[in-house]
A and B are shown apart, each in its own frame.
Chain A
């Protein structure tokens, strides 16, 4: 196994020496995501396996090339989970890829995102240097929090070869409720409920149907059910519904129309963009399938105080990710130059000039 790490580091060093771009890839399940795929593939799957897992520490340390499904199975055996519910988007997704993509599932608004659960990383930077930041403990403020920045960095600053993640117990009880209401009423309801001490762990709205998942102690779930009303969904369809949203296998996500991901403040009223929408995260995440102009979509997100990503399909030349403010873009460029001076790692995956 150390050989696999050495060969990754050597490949980066060689690429850096010639200024050749490398395309970091695990299972390739998120190849669709991001601006462009440049360079020779650097396969991370050779360096895999769980390094340390002690359930009473609520921490797992795992190598980047480990299949996400393997990690989840190991946690499930101890009745624990990755609370940010990372999407796989296909068989063979790796842990390193999930961290680099920085995507979180239905539980995000209640539990936190990938970055909230990253406690430490070991990475290979653009020089092939083996660096460790953070650690295996819940609290750590020694130095800058470089490890959290790796979540969602799309591999542009380093190859995540090891990561320590905080894990949480699987909730004792879960129940899914359904409500019928128009979009504005649903947005109002989910925001109102989020301000009350209710064990809501996920929400999903589309086409007049609002789904609400409750998770927690049996007594708390029962009490919340009584307070909220709605129709209780049978356990089996409920157990298919939420993973379907996470994995985009829900019928809403089918079809070839461009899929936009709008991240906005949760209480933002309906955006009124053309096309169908699917709303998660208590109103804070809005998927829109639309042929609307990129400019129109981005302006709507920005007006609300959020941002828009061309998540899947469409014409990537409009820019997949929301443009950055100039001063922030400067900091991005300088960070890239510090971590990857030759521009070897996932060049152009996030922004064309990055």
Chain B
């Protein structure tokens, strides 16, 4: 993670600042170290780099001007929302302009009849729901950082949350993205209808980590707030049993609104922090939410409880009222900060696996804890197989940091081996770029580069993220696994 920080070329900086100030006010162009320091990293703080310049455009015309200028000067542009991303997708470049959307935070329209909201990219995820609440509507994707994270960042990362199984990801809840190409051409992907002519470029742009276009306006779908929601907290004395319980719920034809799992180290860390009322004797707990009409919820809760009982739950509690439901969820949503209190640093993984391989992965993680002598509490979006193991380490101890990286890399490769992916919702960014060489073949990576070229021929938007170069993969390629097949199966590994 520690690389020598590239130096900023001050002549170049002066040139870019001069050009940008022709149209942007003083407060919209930052370049002094004390002003640019707050932008040196996103949520993945192990990677830091001061940007050459920070641009804060206040409207579409200024965004277009910044992009046209940078394109002409061949300066890389890195877009940034609230900087809550966990994969270093908004890590600045010493040669680039960081385009922050902090001044683009207006909610342009909330239409309760059409059930849409039209917002600027810097609007916070939760602010959309707050604006829709008076109409009995809300914006469904709810990443844990929803108080702070912006919709522009959500689109860039295809953010998820704890209700994805039933309500989908960002890509399923965004109708239209407006923005500009690096050349400053206005573009519109998707429509406010349910589809668009031609190729589904809205799907391609969502989750593209700011590498294809810069977003200036997003239309999201709003959905009716369910009349009631209740959550079951079920305890298990065995991780595999809990995994089987998840499969049994699905097999019974139930699609819970949320289905989360936390292991004992995670519940213990959380309980001290937020007092969510978790069962601390349980090896693992499941949180299973049902929402809908009151009649529907009662029917589902009864059915779910029966399934969990048969699956061997040792205890169960059902939230009696809204405050208790929120308390149960508060623990899950605070898992990361809670773990942050018990360890100087933690490293969060984001692999996704087929649910049926859960037991195998958990055993693998336990073996890695021993191998690398590091603790690793686990929280999972069990419903969709998305894992967030949190490796605890101390960044000031270079050996621990090194072991953490090895640990994480082994787990991610294991996720690929069992038919999963290295990232379910946090993105590749700078962090998982090496593992991309493992998950995809050279021809597939070249196809990704082709997509990039189609939108950004000069390669100026967020370069060096998400899609590794051939050279980078060659360096990393000492041990190559692709699609679960080792390229040299005769060699002992893991």
> Which A residues contact B (CB, under 8 angstroms)?
54-59, 79, 102, 108-109, 112-113, 115-116, 125, 129, 131-133, 135-146, 148-149, 151-153, 156-157, 168-170, 172, 191-192, 194-199, 216-220, 222-224, 263-267, 281, 284-285, 304-307, 309, 321-325, 327-332, 334-335, 337-339, 350-351
Contact = CB atoms under 8 A, between A and B. Distances in A.
A140 B386 CA distance: 9
B113 A195 contact: yes
B385 A220 contact: no
A140 B194 contact: no
B299 interface: yes
27 contacts: A133-B444, A138-B164, A138-B383, A140-B424, A143-B440, A144-B467, A145-B207, A146-B448, A149-B199, A151-B203, A152-B200, A157-B199, A169-B253, A195-B115, A199-B292, A199-B296, A217-B296, A217-B300, A219-B296, A263-B193, A263-B196, A284-B193, A305-B191, A328-B201, A331-B181, A331-B187, A331-B454
Interface stretch (B20-28, B63-71, B415-423): B415-423
Interface stretch (B327-335, B348-356, B360-368, B394-402): B348-356
Interface in B333-385: 352-356, 381, 383-385
B314 interface: no
Interface in B39-57: none
A96 B203 CA distance: 19
Interface in B240-299: 247-248, 250-251, 253-255, 292-293, 295-296, 298-299
A112 to B, nearest CB: 6
B194 A307 contact: no
Contacts of B444: 131-133, 143
Interface stretch (B75-83, B91-99, B167-175, B485-493): B167-175
Contacts, number: 277
B299 A219 contact: yes
Contacts of B355: 56-57
B298 to A, nearest CB: 7
B232 to A, nearest CB: 16
B450 interface: yes
A149 B295 contact: no
B410 interface: no
Given A113-B194, A143-B448, A284-B193, A195 B425 contact: no
A56 B249 CA distance: 8
B226 A197 contact: yes
Please tell me the size bucket of the interface on B: 35 or more
B356 A54 contact: yes
Interface string B172-213: 100000000100011111011111111111011011100010
Contact of A141 (B172, B187, B427, B457): B427
Nearest to A322: B197
A327 B178 CA distance: 12
B454 A338 contact: yes
A137 B354 contact: yes
Contact of B381 (A136, A139, A199): A139
A220 B198 contact: no
Q: Which 9 A-B pairs have the closest CB atoms?
A: A338-B450, A219-B295, A139-B424, A138-B384, A220-B296, A334-B454, A169-B253, A148-B203, A322-B197
Given A136-B419, A139-B425, A144 B197 contact: no
A6 B248 CA distance: 39
Interface string B451-494: 11111010000000011000000000000000100000000000
Contact of B428 (A143, A306, A338): A143
B354 A265 contact: no
Contacts of A220: 292-293, 295-296, 299
B287 to A, nearest CB: 17
B86 to A, nearest CB: 11
B483 A132 contact: yes
B153 interface: no
A102, A146, A331 interface centre (most CB from chain B within 10 Å): A331
A335 B292 CA distance: 42
Contacts of A323: 197
B443 interface: yes
A15 B197 CA distance: 28
B253 A172 contact: yes
A338 B447 contact: yes
B11 interface: no
